[in-house]
A and B are shown apart, each in its own frame.
Chain A
Amino acid sequence: MNFLQSKWMTVALFAVLGAGAVAPLLVTDTRLPQWIEVVLGGLMSGVLYSLVALGLVLIFKASGVFNFAQGAMVLFAALSLVRIMEKVPFPVALVLTIAIMVAVAWLIERLVLRPLVNQEGIVLFMATLGIAYFLDGLGQTVWGSDIYTLDIGMPKEPKILLENVFEGGILVGMEDVIAAVIAAVLVGVLALFFQKTPTGRALRAVADDHQAAQSIGIPLNRIWVIVWTVSGIVALVAGIIWGSKLGVQFSLQLVALKALPVVILGGFTSVPGAIIGGLIIGLGEKLSEVYLGPLLGGGIENWFAYVLALVFLLFRPEGLFGEKHIDRV
């Protein structure tokens, strides 16, 4: 067995990443509380990347489609919710938005995926690029393109923790904590759904082998609608959390592009990989911005994730937890 594929490689990669994260403490005169704040901030934005990446992984596992439109779905869902909330209370708006996402999933399956069945992955990828553009345009045509504030009653004030341990304590945003909790609950629910329900089992069967699943009578088309719906709902959750943090605006979509390096890092086919990949990217981004940024002139956040993914691709194309098999020449 090649060293690059071995378990030790994973350990080594984690060791390198860990060393990179701790390095600022040793090299510069960084204060520990400040470092912890940066780490927490990084982990929180990592949770959001994880949520978008989760939607990507779900679709990729079940239909082999690399869904570039996940970011557009986040924006579309958040926009829909925010505009519907202007008319009706939050729970009703939530239900309506979910209904919209189901309709979107159904339309995508009908109009895009079904005619393109059996095409190469790259063709489907480019088709999702088209979907992304279409959803962006549609969302802004129907719902308008201003910046909307999404307020679902999350506490805004940061809390100061561990005041007796460190001087000045550590500043933690409460909405970040709630976001993390919501994300954890969502992952838990999804895990239960996939493991315990008949539909979840059918989804996993399709993910393993399309043809075998079809031959035992699992309706592929319906499964695809379900899986696009599920990732539409995941997109909605990501949109809610992100929207209440940054406001619902077009730039949400660009931030969601960061989910691409996340899935490369974590592996295309692994749900835990998406979560951990997101956390690593969020953490690395914030740490490098704060501690490396001054050396390189700032703005590292924009490309750090991609370059990290590029390095990973060179050494370990299947990602941290992905399936070992990967097409390459």
Chain B
Amino acid sequence: MIYRETGQYKTTYEADQQLLPILQDRLFMLIVLFVAFFVVPLTASEYLFRAILVPFLILTLAAIGLNILVGFCGQVSLGTGGFMAVGAYAAYNLVIRVPDLNLLVVFLLAGLAATVVGILFGLPSLRIKGFYLAVATLAAQFFLDWAFARIGWFTNYAPSGSVTAPALTIFGYTFQSPVEKYLLVLGIVVVFTLVARNLTRGAIGRSWMAMRDMDVAAEVIGIRPLYAKVTAFAVSSFFVGLAGALWAFVYLGAWEPLAFDVNRSFQLLFMVIIGGLGSILGSFLGAAFIVILPLVLNQLPGWLGIDMSTALISHIEFMIFGALIVFFLIVEPHGLARLWAIGKEKLRLWPFPH
């Protein structure tokens, strides 16, 4: 009864084309943003920021990037971890070699570095698709892993291969406490979510979706496959690279190449599948789900009073992830985002059935 669009007339094109055409959606979004920017920083505990909120936001950004590629353009990638590593190490090298650069600029340039590498490894997608492409991106993953571990220049010849990020100082202000870091990441994620949302509903996003749904038909109606696929790889890698830089600088602080191994790629792919292929909201839901699930599973035996070793829990976690992937692919291929949409649809009609 509350969620009605009756009486909301659109009298201009701007009103018709805006991001959230329904008043209640706009209000809801404002409330969410208010809570995220003001209520959460004042109330949440330090543990919550460090263990859940910061990783959730950064992985969301990476999941949005991957979703652009897999969900919107239909090109499966198993090399996301490698592209995150490109962003992280590009940022590290920029900071070391150009010390006066503003950190925000560093992050953006790190994203651009990942873009270049992403385009390079995305070029085979012009000739191949499906699991052939998945193997090609797997090649990128293993090659990049090796490059960052073995080529000393990338790590500034650190003997153990592990590098440490400098303090997060932007415009003379140092982001130190978990709350400050959270707000920094939140700001970046909000801005780039908006960018992604607008890209995917614009002409370029439509060309990606056309490529995904049927490439031959898309080509016939005048979409250039080369352009559509390369832009998808470029935009996706930019997001992933940016997320990689944030993951390294804000979340990890000090890291080694193992932080971005093939398991990271799978984790992100799972987020996208569980959250919802081809949905920005789904990236948020999927990331939240996959960040929170292991924490809950770790606590659950304690709550139930069962004694379990951590190794056993991690194996059961594997099983649950695997089963969930299959479950979502069978029952709800559009993931958690679709469940949300169904809920909204039900709410519109409630309390009447039709």
Name A residues whose Cβ lies closer than 8 Å to a Cβ of B. 66, 111-112, 115-116, 119, 121-123, 125-127, 129-138, 140-141, 145, 257, 260-261, 264, 296-300, 302-303, 306-307, 309-310, 313-314, 317, 326-329
Determine the residue in chain A with the shortest Cβ distance to B218: A329
CB–CB A122/B130 < 8 A? yes
CB–CB A303/B318 < 8 A? no
Interface string of B114-137 (1 = CB under 8 A from A): 000000000010111111101110
Determine the residue in chain A with the shortest Cβ distance to B330: A115
CB–CB B269/A307 < 8 A? no
- Known contacts A130-B329, A313-B127, A328-B128; decide if A261 and B324 are in contact (CB<8 Å): no
- Known contacts A121-B130, A137-B316, A327-B129; decide if A129 and B325 are in contact (CB<8 Å): yes
- Known contacts A134-B322, A302-B145, A307-B143; decide if A129 and B132 are in contact (CB<8 Å): no
Interface residue B149 (Cβ < 8 Å from any Cβ of A): yes
CB–CB B129/A310 < 8 A? no
Complex: A260 Cα to B134 Cα, angstroms = 10
* Nearest CB of chain B from residue A317's CB, rounded to whole Å: 5
Number of B residues near A (Cβ < 8 Å) is: 47
Identify B135's interface contact among A140, A264, A299, A303, CB under 8 A: A264
Chain B residues near A317 (CB-CB < 8 A): 127-128, 132
**Closest CB pairs A-B (n = 10):** A134-B322, A137-B318, A130-B325, A133-B322, A137-B319, A306-B139, A303-B142, A130-B326, A140-B315, A310-B139
Starting from the known contacts A141-B312, A261-B135, A329-B215, 9 additional A-B residue pairs (CB-CB under 8 Å) come to A130-B322, A130-B329, A141-B315, A260-B138, A299-B150, A303-B143, A303-B145, A313-B124, A329-B216
CB–CB B315/A137 < 8 A? yes
Interface residue B146 (Cβ < 8 Å from any Cβ of A): yes
Identify A131's interface contact among B124, B134, B225, B322, CB under 8 A: B322
- Known contacts A112-B330, A299-B149, A306-B139; decide if A329 and B225 are in contact (CB<8 Å): yes
Chain A residues near B306 (CB-CB < 8 A): none
Chain B residues near A134 (CB-CB < 8 A): 318-319, 321-323, 326
Interface residue B85 (Cβ < 8 Å from any Cβ of A): no
CB–CB A329/B219 < 8 A? yes
Determine the residue in chain B with the shortest Cβ distance to A254: B262
Name B residues whose Cβ lies closer than 8 Å to a Cβ of A. 74, 76, 124, 126-132, 134-136, 138-139, 142-143, 145-146, 149-151, 215-216, 219, 225, 262, 266, 269, 273, 311-312, 315-326, 329-330, 333
Complex: A328 Cα to B229 Cα, angstroms = 13
Complex: A115 Cα to B330 Cα, angstroms = 6
CB–CB B329/A133 < 8 A? no
CB–CB B132/A122 < 8 A? no
* Nearest CB of chain B from residue A139's CB, rounded to whole Å: 8
Complex: A74 Cα to B153 Cα, angstroms = 38
CB–CB A121/B131 < 8 A? yes
Complex: A218 Cα to B262 Cα, angstroms = 40
13 A-B pairs with C-beta separation under 8 A: A126-B269, A129-B325, A130-B323, A131-B322, A134-B318, A134-B323, A136-B318, A138-B319, A145-B315, A303-B145, A306-B142, A309-B135, A329-B129
CB–CB B142/A145 < 8 A? no
Chain B residues near A119 (CB-CB < 8 A): 329
Determine the residue in chain A with the shortest Cβ distance to B323: A134
Complex: A16 Cα to B114 Cα, angstroms = 32
Complex: A116 Cα to B266 Cα, angstroms = 21
* Nearest CB of chain B from residue A155's CB, rounded to whole Å: 34
Chain B residues near A299 (CB-CB < 8 A): 146, 149-150
Chain B residues near A116 (CB-CB < 8 A): 329-330
- Known contacts A125-B76, A299-B150, A329-B215; decide if A133 and B318 are in contact (CB<8 Å): yes
Determine the residue in chain B with the shortest Cβ distance to A72: B322
- Known contacts A133-B321, A133-B322, A141-B316; decide if A327 and B130 are in contact (CB<8 Å): yes
